[in-house]
Structure 1
Amino acid sequence: MEIKVLNISGKETGATVQLPEAVFGITPVDHAIYLDVKQYLANQRQGTHKSKQRNEIAGSTRKLYKQKGTGGARAGSIKSPLFNGGGRVFGPQPRDYSFKLNKKLKSLARKSALTYKAQDNNVVVLEDFTFDAIKTKNYINLVSALNLTNEKTLLVLPAQDNNIYLSARNIQKVKVTYADQLNTYDVLNCGKLLLTAGSVKTIEEAFAK
């Protein structure tokens, strides 16, 4: 698939970029996408939830009242889950939600997500650029020039660029990442995928194997 290259003013440069078929033109596998997104979201969970069981509650273990003759149910401790302030039965405990996926499956999921973006014409290629200084206004002007002000966008850079990354950090519906950190969730979560000419080459080298 051939795409015209735009500059940061939103105008065509006259150059074109060929999106590699091995990355942007495969047969998408939805189940691979599902597993990769599921793993990504699971890895975001802290897993620090915790409730106290009856053996962890601070309180007396004195028997509340005599066993028989009260007309009520027998009770042995104020820490029983049946009483207000007692322990919780089978409550949440700290745990690790992460799980493993094979590298080939994760690569297939990313390529499937990129293919969907290309099929829906939601891929925009920009010429390689940088900002002279860290200014949020610079990135706002970039998004505005591309008529994507109200669109959720993901800009993929070929290498680390703090001027661009920090300029976009505080803008809603905007995310900047690097080609070697690209993940399936971010690709699917954005409306428009913004690539640079350099990042297309980096993505091809990483995934077209």
Structure 2
Amino acid sequence: MELEVKSLGGNAAGSITVSDEIFGLEPRVDLIQRVVRWQLAKRQAGTHKTLGRSEVNGTTKKFVRQKGSGGARHGNRKAPQFRGGGKAFGPVVREHAHDLPKKVRALGLKHALSAKAASGNLVVVEDAKAAEAKTKALIAQLGSLGLTSALFVDGSDVDANFGLATRNIPLVDVLPVQGINVYDILRRDTLVLTKAAVAALEERF
């Protein structure tokens, strides 16, 4: 597969041949969904907690006699049905993460890249560098590329000025190639890869 390469200013800068095994697959939504679900579950804090009946402050004294009251039989006021009682089957602190095979994770990333390429939302640029850390100048460059919501993926290191300039632009994210992931690819309309990122991805897979 051949992709057009552009400069940050929007000018044509040649073309690049990419692997069909990474960018030319028929996208499988089920694989992409599995990887996104795994990512979101892994980062969920799981710190939600309620007090059970054994943790609520209160007496354990039997407050009504067993028989003769005409009402139900009760033990103590910490039971869930009473105001101030413990929560029955409430959430506890736990890990929400689950396992996903490494091969499925890699395949999900390939299919996410292929989905962006198939929909025409994949842009390859020569490099992602800025002479100065000026947000206004970079917004003008992104406008020439027609980008309003984008994820930039650079090589092993992100240019410091470029990272600072994009920091205050809404809906624009920047990642080094080792941080590329399915969820971040999908949450932005356009995926922008540098030539260094493309080379690193092909070497990785």
Alignment TM-score, normalising by the size of structure 1: 0.89
Structure 2 counterpart of 1:22: 21
Aligned equivalents of 1:179, 1:18: Cα separation in 2? 18
Q: Which residue of 1 aligns with 2:180?
A: 182
2:201 corresponds to 1:200: no
Cα displacement (A) at 1:137: 2.6
Deviates more, 1:122-131 or 1:166-175: 166-175
Residue identity matched to 1:72: G
Post-superposition shift, 1:177? 1.2
1:91 aligns with 2:90: yes
| Matched residue SS, 1:67 | coil
Shift of 1:164: 2.2
User: What are structure 2's unaligned runs of at least 5 residues?
Assistant: none
Deviation at 1:182, TM superposition (A): 1.0
Displacement of 1:75 after TM fit? Answer: 2.0
Cα pair 2:135 2:165 within 8 Å, conserved:
yes
More divergent stretch after superposition (186-195 vs 128-137): 128-137
- Give the stretch that moved more between structures: 112-121 or 165-174: 165-174
1:180 Cα deviation after fit:
1.5
- RMSD after superposition: 1.7
Match of 2:124 in 1: 125
Alignment correspondent of 1:169: 167
Residue 111 (structure 1) aligned with residue 110 (structure 2): yes
Q: Measure the CA separation in 1 of the matches of 2:107 and 2:95.
A: 25
Cα distance in structure 1, aligned partners of 2:187 and 2:75: 53
Which deviates the most, 16-25 or 29-38?
29-38
| Aligned residues between the structures | 204
Per-residue deviation at 1:196? 1.0
Gaps of 5+ in 1: none
Structure 2 counterpart of 1:31, one-letter code: D
Quick one: distance in 2 between partners of 1:70 and 1:168?
72
Identity of aligned residues (%): 39
CA distance in 1, matches of 2:128, 2:171: 21
Amino acid in structure 2 at the alignment position of 1:99: H
The letter for the 2-side match of 1:87 is G
Q: Which residue of 2 aligns with 1:156?
A: 153
Q: 1:205 to 1:79 in 2, by over 3 A?
A: same
Deviation at 1:79, TM superposition (A): 0.7
- Does residue 1:32 correspond to 2:31, yes or no? yes
The CA distance in 2 between the partners of 1:190 and 1:171, in whole Å, is: 13
Q: Distance in 2 between matches of 1:204 and 1:180?
A: 12
Deviations 1:155-197 (A, max 9, x none): 1111222332232233221111121121112222221111111
TM-score, reference length from structure 2: 0.91
Q: 1: distance between equivalents of 2:41 and 2:138?
A: 31
